[in-house]
């Protein structure tokens, strides 16, 4: 799971080569603070453009989606970004997207395997509450970063699997990058964690657990030998190409083991949009039984978890996926689809009272592995 990029920002260019993909026509726009209409442009850069980091707290995303109105029009992105630097020209950069040839790994995988038209972040808010949905199927009523996961009502997907005799592991990049989201699990069950180096070794030895979650490197930092380790999470203002290399490394580790490749599906997605423009309004969704109060939403009203967050890239990689698959049905996938899919696969008949109602209702995606015969072709990514 990568960081903070919207679907249109990373994959919107693909509509030009495949009209089934719900990307950009080039006519999508937002008003700037002078009232001028600003269209999307393929001018996104790898680094140095989205500085300061676009606001993606709940109230900021609410403005991006609603722009002060009652309907989700997606017209408030420039107005919101303007508040950070008070520079009209700079605020327009929130509309920029990558041309296909600047993010060849992500667009290449999207074209080669299955790309989801409708995969949304789980909450119109920041990182930690969204990542919680990938691990627990809920954020336990949180819409911000104050998420401490203590005395949680529901078990994480990792604990569920291990308690049932299955194997699961969460690979964080290295000790200095660490694991972002499940601190209580890191404290109580350190045995289910590994580093990215261990992930590569486990792939090489064919010893991946039944379910793995892989975290990128969240920071520029030095290693024990004094070398520089570049962040690869693609969080602005980290270099996007380094994230391309990280995704390629994960893909290659699976692809290059002939015993692993036929039995592994890789889902690549992003936690949330990071304040960057997307043209698809997030849909309404089933509630998850929690309510965030106005003091936390900062929009003067409570949030009932009844609308998803902004759309993000999601790609399913497997030799059992037909080439050039575009998932264009009406299902609204979100991060709760991850524990839902894994639970339905490995723990059939799981008691829905033991997981959130949001997760229980989330669409699953193993039906996309639909080929009767495994593909023998595969994209090659050379690092």
Burial 218-255 (b: 16+ CB within 10 A, else e): beeeeeeeeeebebbbbbbebbbbbbbbbbbbbbbbbb
By CB under 8 A, is residue 5 in contact with other proteins? no
User: Contact 97/28 with Cβ under 8 angstroms?
Assistant: no
Q: Where does this chain touch other proteins (CB under 8 A) — which range of 18-26, 135-143, 232-240, 285-293?
A: 232-240
| Beta pairing class for 114-116 and 314-317 | antiparallel
Q: Where does this chain touch other proteins (CB under 8 A) — which range of 101-109, 158-166, 255-263, 337-345?
A: 101-109
By CB under 8 A, is residue 371 in contact with other proteins? no
Cα gap 47→105, rounded to integer Å: 17
**Member of 8, 22, 32, 112 binding other proteins (CB under 8 A):** 112
Q: Where does this chain touch other proteins (CB under 8 A) — which range of 18-26, 91-99, 239-247, 345-353?
A: 239-247
User: What is the closest distance, in whole angstroms, from the C-beta atom of residue 330 to other proteins in the complex?
Assistant: 31
By CB under 8 A, is residue 183 in contact with other proteins? yes
User: What is the closest distance, in whole angstroms, from the C-beta atom of residue 344 to other proteins in the complex?
Assistant: 30
By CB under 8 A, is residue 312 in contact with other proteins? no
Residues of this chain, 185-214, that bind other proteins according to CB under 8 A: 186-187, 190, 193, 196
Closest CA to 32 of 90, 84, 73, 72: 90
The distance from CA 81 to its chain's CA centroid, rounded to whole angstroms, is 21
Nearest-5° Cα angle at 249, 346 to 133:
40
Cis-peptide into 318, omega within 30 deg: no
Strand partners, 28: none
Reduced to 3 states (helix: H, G, I; strand: E, B; else coil), residue 275 is coil
Extract the runs of DSSP E, i.e. beta strands, from 261-359: 266-269, 314-317, 325-327, 333-334
**Member of 126, 137, 194, 309 binding other proteins (CB under 8 A):** 126
User: Contact 258/26 with Cβ under 8 angstroms?
Assistant: no
User: Contact 84/54 with Cβ under 8 angstroms?
Assistant: yes
User: What is the closest distance, in whole angstroms, from the C-beta atom of residue 30 to other proteins in the complex?
Assistant: 24
Residues of this chain, 246-275, that bind other proteins according to CB under 8 A: 248-249
Burial class (CB in 10 A: 0-12, 13-18, 19+), 344: middle
Q: Where does this chain touch other proteins (CB under 8 A) — which range of 89-97, 134-142, 235-243, 363-371?
A: 235-243
Q: What is the DSSP letter of 325?
A: E
Give the count of residues interacting with other proteins (CB under 8 A): 59
By CB under 8 A, is residue 381 in contact with other proteins? yes
**Member of 16, 229, 347, 371 binding other proteins (CB under 8 A):** 229
User: What is the closest distance, in whole angstroms, from the C-beta atom of residue 343 to other proteins in the complex?
Assistant: 25
User: What is the closest distance, in whole angstroms, from the C-beta atom of residue 289 to other proteins in the complex?
Assistant: 24
User: What is the closest distance, in whole angstroms, from the C-beta atom of residue 164 to other proteins in the complex?
Assistant: 24
User: What is the closest distance, in whole angstroms, from the C-beta atom of residue 283 to other proteins in the complex?
Assistant: 27
**Member of 15, 26, 42, 46 binding other proteins (CB under 8 A):** 46
Closest CA to 29 of 70, 85, 67: 67
User: Contact 297/65 with Cβ under 8 angstroms?
Assistant: no
Residues that bind other proteins (CB under 8 A): 3, 46-47, 53, 104-105, 108, 112, 126-128, 145-148, 174-180, 183-184, 186-187, 190, 193, 196, 217-224, 226-230, 235, 237-239, 241-242, 244-245, 248-249, 377-383
């Amino acid at each position: 799971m990568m960081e903070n990029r919207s679907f249109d920002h990373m994959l919107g260019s693909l509509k030009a080569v495949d009209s089934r993909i719900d990307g950009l026509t080039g006519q999508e726009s937002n008003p700037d603070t002078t009232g001028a209409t600003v269209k999307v442009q393929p001018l996104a850069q790898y680094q140095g453009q989205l500085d300061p980091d676009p606001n993606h707290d709940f109230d900021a995303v609410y403005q991006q989606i609603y722009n002060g109105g009652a309907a989700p029009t997606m017209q408030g992105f420039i107005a919101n970004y303007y508040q950070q630097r008070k520079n009209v020209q700079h605020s327009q950069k929130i509309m920029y997207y990558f041309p296909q040839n600047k993010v060849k790994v992500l667009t290449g995988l999207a074209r080669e395997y299955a790309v989801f038209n409708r995969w949304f972040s789980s909450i119109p808010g920041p990182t930690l509450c969204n990542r919680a949905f990938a691990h627990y199927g809920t954020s336990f009523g949180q819409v911000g970063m104050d998420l401490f996961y203590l005395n949680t009502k529901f078990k994480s997907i990792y604990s569920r699997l291990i308690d049932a005799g299955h194997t699961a592991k969460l690979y964080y990049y290295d000790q200095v990058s660490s694991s972002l989201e499940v601190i209580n699990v890191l404290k109580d069950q350190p045995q289910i964690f590994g580093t990215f180096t261990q992930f590569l070794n486990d792939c090489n030895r064919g010893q991946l657990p039944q379910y793995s979650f892989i975290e990128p490197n969240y920071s520029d930092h030095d290693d024990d030998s004094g070398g520089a380790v570049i962040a690869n999470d693609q969080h602005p203002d980290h270099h996007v190409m380094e994230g391309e290399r990280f995704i390629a490394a994960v893909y290659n580790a699976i692809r290059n083991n002939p015993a692993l490749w036929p039995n592994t599906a890789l889902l690549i997605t992003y936690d949330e949009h990071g304040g960057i423009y997307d043209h698809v309004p997030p849909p309404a969704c089933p509630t998850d039984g929690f309510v965030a109060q106005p003091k936390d939403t900062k929009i003067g009203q409570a949030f009932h978890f009844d609308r998803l967050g902004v759309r993000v890239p999601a790609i399913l990689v497997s030799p059992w996926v037909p080439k050039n698959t575009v998932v264009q049905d009406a299902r609204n996938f979100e991060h709760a689809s991850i524990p839902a899919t894994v639970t339905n696969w490995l723990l059939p008949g799981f008691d829905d009272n033991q997981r959130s109602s949001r997760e229980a209702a989330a669409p699953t995606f193993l039906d996309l592995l639909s080929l009767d015969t495994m593909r023998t072709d595969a994209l090659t990514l050379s690092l």
